[in-house]
Structure 1
Amino acid sequence: MSSSQPTVVISATLPADLRAKVAAACRIIDVPPGASLSEAVPEADRALVEGVLCTLKTSIGKDQLAALPKLRVVSNYAVGFDNISVPMASEHKVLVCNTPGVLDRAVADLTIGLLICLARGMVAGDAFVRSGAWTKGAAPLTMDIAGKTLGLLGMGRIGTLVARTAKAFDMKVVYHNRRRDQAAEAEGLATYVERDALFSQSDVVSVHIPLSPETRGAVGKAELDMMKPTAYLINTARGPVVDEAALIAHLQQGKIAGAGLDVMEKEPLPADSPLCSLPNVVLQAHVGSGTVETRRAMMDLAVANLLDAMAGTQPKAMVNPDTWAAAQRRAA
């Protein structure tokens, strides 16, 4: 290893071949996932760190940016980046990278899986057979999805894939987004509706918006009150965009038919959460991207983003691209 190699912090578990790739170009400091970088990085090394590869468990804010004065890139092993204060990173001329695109199909697949599980009662049906209840009578009837209305709150890459799949099931797809998706409308994938209409018209509402200060709690009591009592809510985006207390109350009172959640306000979800005892909820452990192929693709991109930035090559996925030129000036 050359003393001229940049120093980077790795706060994620890398496959051996990717770690070797990073080690060939950089000096690595390992930090446990979720540990505070301003405390876990040895004091003597803090002024040397130029890059960080981390997961959503690692916070990058005022203290971390102050502790790592030479930092110029944070490569997040996730498509989300609410663990990073992007405005503050930009102020410090620190480039933030993420892993969009490579996990879209996997998350869309899980969304459709939750939709089918809810509508057809598949989790309850499995328990019905295993418990021996089938020997005493027929299983309860469930709901067709063909002809029903799917409402997409958010029409980005994942929402578009969900819409495309839902159309194959002969569902009517409506969406609400900050910006109209003219291409999706022209293709006949989805019809734009106002936000309130999305909640009131849909038989299934699926959430596909990023977490930000503006979207935290965006689906709350008012939105849930608009939904049909026969409707389902699906969230494969981020837990805090849904007001969990309001959702639990609506589920307990039968004001909506059920929910499919891959994400929650607190993760891992405590076993004593009311969500765990509700029979009209299907839960997953934030596994929207949890396939072997997708996680490898995400890690490939996270490592590529880090190494490209270290080498002065523009990374493929930048959250705050305006800082790229400034980061290059700092590296010179």
Structure 2
Amino acid sequence: MSSASLSVVVTRRLPEPVESRLAELFDVKLRESDAPMSRQELARAVKEADVLVPTLSDRIDAGLIAQAGDNLKLIANYGAGVDHIDVQTARQHGILVSNTPGVSADDTADMAMALILGVTRRIPEGLAMMQSGDWEGWSPRALLGGRVNGRRLGILGMGRIGQAVARRAAAFGMQIHYHNRKRLRAEIEDDLEATYWESLDQMVARMDVIS
């Protein structure tokens, strides 16, 4: 079967370049609404598709997979995780499940660093004052935030995202600490200049910022 003849059903609106590329390669049914599919719509999708492209908002459980047509051979998740998909049941039905691990690690780390800076520098408060017209001009005490340089950052979970956050925070001069189910290899710790804490409670009690 050529790729052009594959029936692909997408459950949510995706970025325009992604939808355009799918349309070039496959017989694709794109979602017109950005609302999640209902249970009934998902049931129709698994019955007619060769490939289903869900997102994390779609629960693909055993009951739904049991309704799949014989043509459904791949659930290609648009995202890194598969917690919302019953992978074991899919395999029992001969359906492959794919995902995109690590694809959003840098983007998520960017957002985490933005939140750290936003909170410590009180950026959302300043923006709200500007938008409401309450800003009365600069003063030595107005929205006095704090610098992140030298602060202790405790990272809960040092996987791809945690390590990406650590690199960004280190560039701002933060001290990197972490708790993880398994300690990182020594060379990774050295590269990140990160301190491992076996006890989560002890780490949290000593940090300035937690991510």
Q: Same fold (TM over 0.5)?
A: yes
The aligned residue for residue 100 of structure 2 is: 99
Give the C-alpha shift of residue 184 in structure 1: 2.2
In 1: Cα distance, 2:150 partner to 2:113 partner: 15
Output aligned runs, 1:18-33, within 5 Å.
18-23=21-26, 27-30=27-30
Cα distance change on mapping 1:163 and 1:40 into 2, 3 Å: closer
Letter in 2 for 1:145: V
In 2: Cα distance, 1:38 partner to 1:127 partner: 42
Output aligned runs, 1:18-97, within 5 Å.
18-23=21-26, 27-30=27-30, 34-36=36-38, 39-40=41-42, 42=44, 46=47, 49-70=49-70, 71-97=72-98
SS at match of 1:160: helix
1:185 aligns with 2:194: no
The aligned residue for residue 205 of structure 2 is: 200
Q: Is the CA contact 1:108–1:159 (under 8 Å) kept in the aligned structure 2?
A: yes
The aligned residue for residue 225 of structure 1 is: none
Output aligned runs, 1:1-332, within 5 Å.
5-14=5-14, 15=16, 17-23=20-26, 27-30=27-30, 34-36=36-38, 39-40=41-42, 42=44, 46=47, 49-70=49-70, 71-128=72-129, 130-134=133-137, 138-182=141-185, 183-194=187-198, 195-206=200-211
Superposition TM-score, scaled by structure 2 size: 0.80
SS at match of 2:66: helix
In 2: Cα distance, 1:157 partner to 1:168 partner: 17
Query: What's the CA shift string for 1:59-88, capped at 9, x where partnerless?
Result: 211222011043221111122333212333
Alignment root-mean-square deviation, CA = 2.9
Q: Is the CA contact 1:34–1:59 (under 8 Å) kept in the aligned structure 2?
A: no
SS at match of 2:50: strand
Query: What's the CA shift string for 1:174-213, capped at 9, x where partnerless?
Result: 111122211321214311102222211211110xxxxxxx
Structure of greater relative contact order (alpha carbons < 8 Å, 6+ residues apart): 1
In 1: Cα distance, 2:80 partner to 2:201 partner: 28
In 2: Cα distance, 1:198 partner to 1:30 partner: 47
Query: What's the CA shift string for 1:226-274, capped at 9, x where partnerless?
Result: xxxxxxxxxxxxxxxxxxxxxxxxxxxxxxxxxxxxxxxxxxxxxxxxx
In 2: Cα distance, 1:123 partner to 1:62 partner: 43
Gaps of 5+ in 1: 207-332
Give the C-alpha shift of residue 170 in structure 1: 1.4
In 2: Cα distance, 1:132 partner to 1:17 partner: 44
Query: What's the CA shift string for 1:287-322, capped at 9, x where partnerless?
Result: xxxxxxxxxxxxxxxxxxxxxxxxxxxxxxxxxxxx
Q: Is the CA contact 1:54–1:76 (under 8 Å) kept in the aligned structure 2?
A: yes
In 1: Cα distance, 2:163 partner to 2:139 partner: 43
Gaps of 5+ in 2: none
In 2: Cα distance, 1:128 partner to 1:49 partner: 50
Query: What's the CA shift string for 1:125-182, capped at 9, x where partnerless?
Result: 2334541344787314222211111011111111111101111111111111122211
Q: Is the CA contact 1:36–1:59 (under 8 Å) kept in the aligned structure 2?
A: no
In 2: Cα distance, 1:22 partner to 1:12 partner: 18
In 2: Cα distance, 1:40 partner to 1:115 partner: 38
